[in-house]
Structure 1
């Protein structure tokens, strides 16, 4: 928990308390929400892909995806944080090159001696991979649908929406890679005298940026949020008129 102050009053307070479950809860919720931040962006390309691929039944399909996918996404971080249930939170002195008094909240006595680092790394790789695959399938489906329309039928809003999704996808991938890089630096360099060991300080902020910046990129670039009156379908660049033209072109 590098966002908490690591010197002064906080250090003195930590020195007076024994390991306990309350400190563990701080770390538990930090890890829990980090896993949520990794998984929820995957739903955006999936929902949009369903709209483009199944224009007649996307409401029913996406309703089921949201109904069952969101609860599963909320529950799944427990699979990678369960080892913290018997653990105790402790204020721990940071290893070199951090000076004396630089502390962080960590845990001891975890179930089976498990640690979070590799769970986090494998999740980053998994969610980045499936997000890239989902977006590639989405781009292929959108390009296929647009190729069936004549140039005059392809609206400017549709092109802007497609560009917005592309930029948002690149932002998502960038933050997956960035967080993975910080995590690898922690695994290989923490406790050494290398300057890379200081990268751990930036990792929590990278997790926050993944949640906030991707959302803002989508909001600032998508045409649906640049007009006063818009249809909810425009958010996914699949307006009803666009779908009707695509369906008519098939026949």
Structure 2
């Protein structure tokens, strides 16, 4: 999302063509990209495992065994989160600098209320996405450092699954509630009355 906005600001004349190419390339990659981080799980088997201390006896979770090359999913997930967090922050910094430069070059900067609400919606959605990247990265770091110890940070492993679900649901939910394109346009009563009167005149004539 910040990359699309950055392209619009950087290339105002041919941004539609550039973004079309980006979408044409990125959509197939969305299906292939997860394989880079889960290929080692193909020969693995799912098992029920006792959760380590400080969880009591009987607390289990579903884990995997016999992964290819002995890889662990947590490190791949951590590196992926850091990479996308860094790219999102850099793209937003560049976007902010571009917009600030464009505003400084204009004598008067005017925009409609709909345009302002659209930009505000995308900004809020982007901030929430970055926030979830930080939260997920924090969960992974705590899992790597404290899992199996007596630290109370180990209990945050339970919350991680709910945080992942919240990211999937909350981000599009906020975008849907805040962006004006999803708002129903209200039709004034005067317009409805004039339209109905016009139709009756045509039918009577």
Scaled by the length of structure 2, what TM-score is found? Answer: 0.82
Larger Rg, first or second structure (1 or 2):
2
Matched, 1:122 2:50: no
* Structure 1: tracts of 5 or more residues without a match: 1-43, 230-251
Contact 1:146 / 1:154 at 8 angstroms: preserved in 2?
A: no
Partner of 1:238: none
With 87-96 and 54-63 compared, the bigger mean Cα shift is at 54-63
Query: 1:1-251 counterparts in 2 under 5 A?
Result: 44-151=1-108, 153-228=110-185
**What is the aligned-residue RMSD (CA, Å)?**
2.0
Q: Number of aligned pairs?
A: 186
- More relative contact order in 1 or in 2 (CA 8 Å, sep 6+)? 1
Deviation sequence 1:28-50 (CA, Å, 0-9, x none): xxxxxxxxxxxxxxxx1112222
In 1, Cα distance between equivalents of 2:184 and 2:94: 28
Q: Aligned partners of 2:131 and 2:121: how far apart in 1?
A: 15
- Name structure 2 gaps, 5 residues minimum: 187-205
Distance 1:140 1:193, change over 3 A: same
Question: How far did residue 148 of structure 1 move?
Answer: 4.2
- Structure 1, 206-215 or 121-130: larger mean CA deviation: 206-215
- Pick closer, same or farther for the CA change 1:49–1:201 going to 2, 3 Å: same
